[in-house]
Structure 1
Amino acid sequence: MAAMQIVDADSHHLSAITDIFNHYILHTNARFETSPLTLVDRREWFSLFARNSRYQLLVAVEGGQVEGFAGSQPYRKTSAFCQTVETTIYLAPDRARRGIGTRLYSALFSRLSEQELNLAVAGIALPNESSIALHEKFGFRRVGIFEDYAIKNGQYLSALWMQKHLMRRQDG
């Protein structure tokens, strides 16, 4: 069996990435969408990660299969947030607790450290202790909870927001 590799996501990974997203949409509250995504839906999103983009999308691949992905994307579209990224990470449903998330986030934060970015933020639908633990392992700290701010399957959902400074600020 081929060893797992962390590589830049390419268009041929998009179908597997979409399948992973859809698993979490259909079977968990980790995603707030209420219906599955299509490849057409994901193509515009995927264009954020074009070569030479400041945003990253990495996949863990083993034996030709996508085991998971991690990325950074704009937090908000206004230029005031140009040094802030929102990070995300998802694993294929049967791939948890194998170190894949740690390897993906290690590679992602190595890349982010080479950019002029100030802050990474992550929103985690509650409950999700494994995601919280992974983010804390990478230096994220809890900054607040949006309580009951989404509804899915007739249930109100809350999310924990976490942040991690990516560079030391040199201001006055």
Structure 2
Amino acid sequence: MPRDSAEVQVRPGVESDLEALTDIYNHYVHETAITFDTAAFSPEERRPWLLSHPEDGPYRLMVATQPAPTGNSQESQEILGYATSSPFRAKPAYATSVEVSVYLRPDAGRRGIGTLLYKALFEALAGEDVHRAYAGIAQPNEASARLHERFGFRYVGTYREVGRKFDRYWDVSWYEKDL
């Protein structure tokens, strides 16, 4: 169980984080409609995703960690969650737009970790040639909507029944933020 949020540090993601990041993401694949992926990933399958988020540029991966109960070295850090900025769409004219997201370990919610991650992500993006950030939020997800609104995102519309998972259709509300 996560402890005091004062112990939480945010840093760029690195390749040694891959297994923990994959485990976090797979929880959402199996248990929620927050992602529309329907099959779990192996760490090797997720490696291209991780490598597409370098330490600089518009596509970032920020990771929240805290010391593991057994020690304080880098090797004994627990990963609590991550935030990313990724390409919004593949076409060149979209290059100055990013899609952002936050995923937390299931026991790491309600501690302000998503806020810490987004704060670090948007600070990292401040010097980049990025004009807008977009977030698609599968509905219902009031906590995610509140997080995005705290960071200045505004609601721009909803795609109705755009994804099918767990034998039902889900809406996705879209939010945007000027950068």
Regarding TM over 0.5, the answer is yes
Alignment of 1:86-101 (within 5 A): 86-101=99-114
Number of residue equivalences: 166
Tell me, in whole angstroms, the C-alpha distance in 2 between the residues paired with 1:25 and 1:12. Answer: 21
**1:82-139 deviations in Å (ceiling 9; x for gaps):** 1000001011001111011111100111111111211000001100000000000000
Indicate which of 3, 27, 37 corresponds to 2:7.
3
Alignment of 1:32-47 (within 5 A): 32-47=36-51
Gaps of 5+ in 1: 167-172
CA positional deviation for 1:150: 0.9
Normalising by structure 1, report the TM-score.
0.93
CA positional deviation for 1:46: 1.1
| Amino acid in structure 2 at the alignment position of 1:7 | R
Tell me, in whole angstroms, the C-alpha distance in 1 between the residues paired with 2:151 and 2:133. Answer: 11
For residue 41 of structure 1, give the secondary structure of its aligned residue in structure 2: helix
Quick check: 1:61 aligned with 2:65? Answer: yes
Match of 1:116 in 2: 129
**1:22-51 deviations in Å (ceiling 9; x for gaps):** 101111111111111111221111111124
Match of 2:176 in 1: 163
Match of 2:142 in 1: 129
Kept in 1: contact 2:12–2:55 (CA 8 A): no
Indicate which of 87, 96, 102 corresponds to 1:83.
96
| Amino acid in structure 1 at the alignment position of 2:28 | Y
Indicate which of 48, 53, 57 corresponds to 2:52.
48
Percent of paired sites with the same residue: 40
| Amino acid in structure 2 at the alignment position of 1:24 | Y
Alignment of 1:6-25 (within 5 A): 6-25=10-29
Quick check: 1:144 aligned with 2:148? Answer: no
Quick check: 1:106 aligned with 2:119? Answer: yes
| Amino acid in structure 2 at the alignment position of 1:139 | G
Match of 1:170 in 2: none
Tell me, in whole angstroms, the C-alpha distance in 2 between the residues paired with 1:52 and 1:143. Answer: 29
Normalising by structure 2, report the TM-score.
0.89
Runs (4 or more) in structure 1 with deviation over 3 Å come to none
RMSD, aligned CA:
1.3
CA positional deviation for 1:10: 0.4
Kept in 1: contact 2:55–2:61 (CA 8 A): no
Gaps of 5+ in 2: 68-76
**1:39-91 deviations in Å (ceiling 9; x for gaps):** 12211111111244431100000011000100101011211001000001011
Kept in 1: contact 2:58–2:129 (CA 8 A): no
